[in-house]
Amino acid sequence: MRWEWSEVREMDDQGCPRCKTTKYRNPSLKLMVNVCGHTLCESCVDMLFVRGSGNCVQCDTPLRKSNFRVQLFEDPAVDKEVEIRKKVLKIYNKRDFDFSNLREYNDYLERVEEIVYNLTNNLEVEGTKQIMEAYQRENRDIIQKNKAKLTREQEELEELLLLEQQGNEQRRLETLQEEQRQLQAKRKSKQALLDELERSHVPATILLAQHKDRAAQLETQIEKQKQVVKTTIFSTGIPMGQTVSLLTVNRLEEVLYHYQPIHMHTYGPPVPELEQLGRLGYLNHVRTAQPQDMAGGYNSGLACHRAIQDAFSGLFHPLG
Amino acid sequence: MFHISSQKKYWTFDNEESLEQLRCEANQKYRNKMLASGKPGVSDAVFLEAHEENVLFRHYEKRLLDFCNAFKPVMPKSVVGTAIMYFRRFYLNNSLMEYHPRTIMLICAYLSCKVDEFNVSSTQFVGNLVQESAAGQERALEQILEYELLLIQQLNFHLVVHTPYRPMEGLLIDIKTRYPLLENPESLRKSVDDFLTRVTLTDSGLLFPPSQIAMTAILNSASRAGLSMESYLTECMGLKEDKETLLKMYDAMRRIKSLMKKYELPKPDEVNAYKVKLERVHADFGTNSNMKRKRGYEDDDHVAKEPRMTEEEWTDEDLDDL
């Protein structure tokens, strides 16, 4: 992970503590961090540790050149912590399923954090180192087992990534080839047209029409090819061709629904249907609808029907 | 349609006695409530009897009818019918002493305009109270808006009222189409209208389906004009075979006619005497001040209006000369 943008922005802030100016003039110069947490630019490292080992400029701890790593974070302290954490976790590599309950796991993590904190801030370094050694001795086999597991997982992940990459590559090549083929086909047909125009005695318009037909055919062919994507796997993840056993579904027999028309009790004589009103002569006695009424969907039958319905509803209402 | 309406289910009763019963119960309930509350000056003599309430009810009902008839713009008959029906239904379950009829009267008219889609703005509505000043109209409007929800509640939210006017039109159309024996049904229209107006002032709306009332109106007017329409029922309605239903129909018509005959305008001196009593009851035990705060602002003291105890409410005289 390269924090390039931060380098670009804070070029003035980050300076090599030794040669100070060189960082400004050479933005591509990288800072290196060591176990003590202090930074030095690349050229200074080369200069100071020409013999392989020396002392840190700021804190005078004996250092080796090989311990210098390229700085990833703005704050060198973070880099230092990251290094320490990596080392600690190589030893303390238990995982959540190694513990019987959550509480124990959390306690374990707490211990790990404390060790990392102490080492980073140079508190009780000796004591912490002793604790670490004791732990290592006690849990040697567990550490080994976990290490093995970890490597296996990493390998699997890498395999998947590799597969994906290969797939991408293949697809890219295929599309390139397709395009090449299409271009060639087009060029050929154009050339053929020109040749025919030269040679043959058929009038030019007919030749042009033929050429157009051929071009259209070519287009459809290309389209069809594009659509033929080999599907080897269903969207649910089941690969094609795999037989899936289905349990027989129980047949549910239900009674078929039978429509019963609604019967409304109007307590009165039957009302003629809306459609019949005109025929029966009712509409003669109702005010005819004006054109502006009809535009809204009104017709005189509606008012007539409603009046008749109201007149007949409840006429034979039973009395107490 | 009437046959599936709430009017048929809940507001059509079997006989006049049950109506009387309900009114007596309402009266009694109010009395008990007041007696139990233990306010000073409470005694049985102060309250109105059921028959006295009846007299006042008829009086205010007539005034409602006059108000609606004088309404500008002209109120359609169905709106008037609905308003009177609301008034009647309200006082079936409530006592006149609890809610003063002159307020309820206007609210019935207002609600009925809304329900029947006769669109009148509230200002236009109170503008019809010609005796009032603008401030008086404002106050009336406020009162109307306060009690409106109460009215809807007491109607049990059954707001659709089926009046006999459309059935009457339908029957006329049917007669013209299928019953050529009657030469000119239009000539009956005026007397039928008259009959229907008089019928709304009776309890018929609460006892019979509107189509039966309309039928009664038409048959009655025809017989008054000397035209015979007996065969209409037997032939056109297909009741020749069905004697039982025919008898029931005749019975219903007879009862409606008798209700109409029984109706009489209340006598003025009686009315005045009872009115005095009513006013006294309202002044002493009236719950007017409680109603004024029911706008939903009860809890926010700083928003609520102050009770208008000091201002006079508009009185009956303001409605005179409508």
Task: Out of B4, B12, B237, name the one closest to residue A269 (CB).
Answer: B237
Least CA distance to A307: which residue of chain B? B170
Q: Which of A216-230, B167-181, B298-312 has the least mean pLDDT?
A: B298-312
Distance CA(B315)–CA(B219), nearest Å, equals: 42
- Closest residue by Cα to residue A175 from A215, A216, A222, A218: A222
Q: Do B237 and A315 touch (CB under 8 A)?
A: yes
pLDDT of chain A along its 320 residues, tens only? 555 554 455 556 667 777 776 667 777 777 888 877 788 888 888 888 887 777 887 778 888 777 778 888 878 888 888 888 998 888 888 887 788 888 999 999 999 999 999 888 888 888 888 888 888 888 888 888 888 888 888 889 999 999 999 999 999 999 999 999 999 988 998 888 888 888 877 788 888 888 888 888 888 887 887 776 666 666 776 666 666 666 777 778 888 888 988 888 888 888 888 888 888 888 888 888 888 888 988 988 899 999 999 998 888 877 43
Q: Do A307 and B15 touch (CB under 8 A)?
A: no
Q: Do A310 and B4 touch (CB under 8 A)?
A: no
Residue A177's identity, in one-letter code, is Q
Residues of A in contact with B214 (CB under 8 A): 311
Distance CA(B96)–CA(B48), nearest Å, equals: 9
Question: Which residue is listed with tokens 């997982």?
Answer: A153
Q: B238-256 b/e with 16+ CB inside 10 Å = b?
A: ebeeeeebbebbeebbebb
Distance CA(A142)–CA(A146), nearest Å, equals: 6
Q: What is the pLDDT of residue B89?
A: 94
Please answer whether residues A79 and A72 qualify as being in contact, where contact means their C-beta atoms are separated by less than 8 angstroms: yes
Q: What tokens were used for A265?
A: 């009790």
CA separation, residue B177 to residues A286, B170, B184, B223 (Å): 10, 11, 12, 20
Q: Which residue did the predictor score with more confidence, B202 or B311?
A: B202
Q: What tokens were used for A310?
A: 């109201």
Cα torsion through A291, A296, A301, A304, rounded to 10: -100
- Closest residue by Cα to residue B79 from B58, B64, B60: B64
Q: Do B211 and A313 touch (CB under 8 A)?
A: yes
Q: Do A319 and B252 touch (CB under 8 A)?
A: yes
Distance CA(A177)–CA(B308), nearest Å, equals: 94
Q: What is the pLDDT of residue A76?
A: 80
Give the gap in angstroms from C-alpha B61 to the nearest C-alpha of chain A. 26
Q: Which residue did the predictor score with more confidence, A51 or B280?
A: B280
Instruction: Tell me the whole-structure pTM to 2 decimals.
Output: 0.57
- Closest residue by Cα to residue A115 from A139, A98, A134, A143: A134
Distance CA(B233)–CA(B182), nearest Å, equals: 13
CB count, 10 Å around CB of B106?
23
Please determine, for the modelled complex, whether the ipTM score is greater than 0.90.
Answer: no
Mapped onto helix, strand or coil, the DSSP state of residue A17 is coil
- Closest residue by Cα to residue B222 from B261, B188, B179, B190: B188
Q: Compute the C-alpha angle A192/A195/A200, nearest 5°.
A: 115
